[in-house]
């Protein structure tokens, strides 16, 4: 019985049951219940009534199932929270990359009309000065575009869990974990556009 047949208060074996208080009593505890109306010896009442262990076992199994379902619900909620956080992080990275591309496109769109106008109407000195400035801008823009191309992010989300269900249940809420794996060259997105 692993000590379940003894009281924790006095360390003695249970010999009585108080139905008034629904309490198992040892010979020391029984003194506090001597005025109770329904105080019986366990030896005599156990012969008269069979303990409803099968019903209690079914009750415990139902409670265990409820606990398992609660663990799975908690894990599902936590998993969704982690997945949303990962998605948010990925959207943020892609947003920064898109922002850099949009700024590069805007810069090119500003240069093109000026280039056409100066090519058609500019003085030789203006054409020379503008061409040198555009050469520098071309290098900068090309560098940004190359960095964007090299920053290929390939994300793979996996779900891992242990092999045996019993071990999973004993682990509580920590039995699943979302992992994010990125492939590619990572650059500091903030340094792509200066």
The dihedrals phi and psi of 10, each to the nearest 5 degrees, come to: -115, -10
Q: Is 60 within a domain?
A: no
Model pLDDT, residue 193? 45
Q: Residue 153 domain-assigned?
A: yes
Q: Are residues 28 and 96 in the same domain?
A: no
Shared domain check, 173 and 114? yes
Q: What is the pLDDT of residue 120?
A: 92
Is residue 113, in this structure, part of any structural domain at all?
yes
Residue 162 has a pLDDT of 56
**Which residues 6+ apart lie within 8 Å of 94 measured at CB?**
153
Residue pair 100/144 in contact by the 8 Å Cβ criterion: yes
Residues 112 and 182 in one domain: yes
Q: What pLDDT was estimated at residue 8?
A: 86
159 in a structural domain: yes
> What is residue 194's predicted lDDT score, i.e. its pLDDT?
41
Q: How many helices (H) and strands (E) does the chain have?
A: 4, 5
List the domain range (segments joined by +) for residue 154: 78-191
Residue 21 placed within a domain: yes
- Residue 142 shares a structural domain with residue 181: yes
Please state the domain count of the chain.
2
CA 129 to chain centre: 57
Considering the domain boundaries, does residue 36 fall inside one?
Answer: yes
83 shares a domain with 46:
no
Residue 101 shares a structural domain with residue 142: yes
Paired with 23 in beta bridges are 18
Within a domain: residue 147? Answer: yes
For residue 53, the tally of other CB atoms under 10 A from its CB is 8
Rg (CA), the chain: 38
- Predicted pLDDT of residue 6: 87
Same domain, 42 and 115: no
**Strand residues in the chain grouped as ranges (E):** 16-18, 23-25, 39-41, 154-161, 176-183
Please list the pLDDT of the chain residue by residue as tens digits (194 residues). 788 888 888 889 988 889 899 899 888 988 888 888 888 888 888 887 777 777 888 888 888 888 888 887 888 888 888 888 888 888 888 888 888 888 888 988 998 999 889 899 989 998 888 888 989 988 988 888 888 777 766 667 676 655 565 566 666 666 566 666 666 655 554 454 44
Q: Are residues 115 and 186 in the same domain?
A: yes
The reply to whether 109 and 175 lie within a common domain is yes
The gap between the terminal CA atoms of the chain, to the nearest Å, is: 74
Do residues 127 and 41 share a domain? no
Q: Give the pLDDT of residue 54.
A: 78
Count CA within 13 A, CB hemisphere, residue 6: 8
| 39 touches 14 (CB < 8 A) | no
For tokens 């040892």, what's the residue?
26
- Residue 165 phi/psi, 5-degree rounding, is -60, -40
Clarify whether residues 86 and 153 are in a common domain.
yes
Distance CA 6, CA 47 (A): 20
Whether 58 is covered by a domain: the verdict is: no
The reply to whether 82 and 47 lie within a common domain is no
**Burial of 16 (C-beta count, 10 Å sphere; 0-12/13-18/19+):** buried
């Amino acid at each position: 019985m692993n000590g379940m047949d003894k009281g924790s208060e006095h360390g003695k074996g249970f010999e009585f049951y108080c139905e008034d208080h629904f309490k198992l009593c040892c010979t020391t505890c029984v003194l506090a219940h001597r005025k109770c109306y329904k105080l019986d010896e366990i030896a005599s009442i156990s012969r008269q009534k069979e303990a409803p262990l099968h019903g209690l076992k079914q009750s415990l199994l139902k409670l265990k199932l409820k606990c398992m379902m609660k663990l799975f619900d908690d894990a599902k909620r936590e998993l969704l929270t982690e997945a949303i956080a990962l998605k948010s992080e990925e959207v943020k990275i892609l947003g920064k990359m898109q922002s850099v591309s949009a700024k590069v496109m805007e810069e090119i769109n500003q240069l093109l009309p000026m280039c056409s106008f100066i090519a058609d109407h500019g003085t030789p000195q203006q054409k020379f000065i503008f061409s040198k400035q555009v050469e520098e801008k071309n290098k900068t823009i090309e560098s940004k575009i190359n960095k964007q191309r090299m920053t290929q992010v390939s994300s793979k989300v996996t779900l891992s869990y242990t092999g045996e269900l019993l071990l999973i249940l004993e682990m509580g809420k920590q039995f699943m974990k979302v992992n994010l794996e990125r492939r590619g060259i990572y650059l500091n997105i903030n340094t792509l556009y200066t």
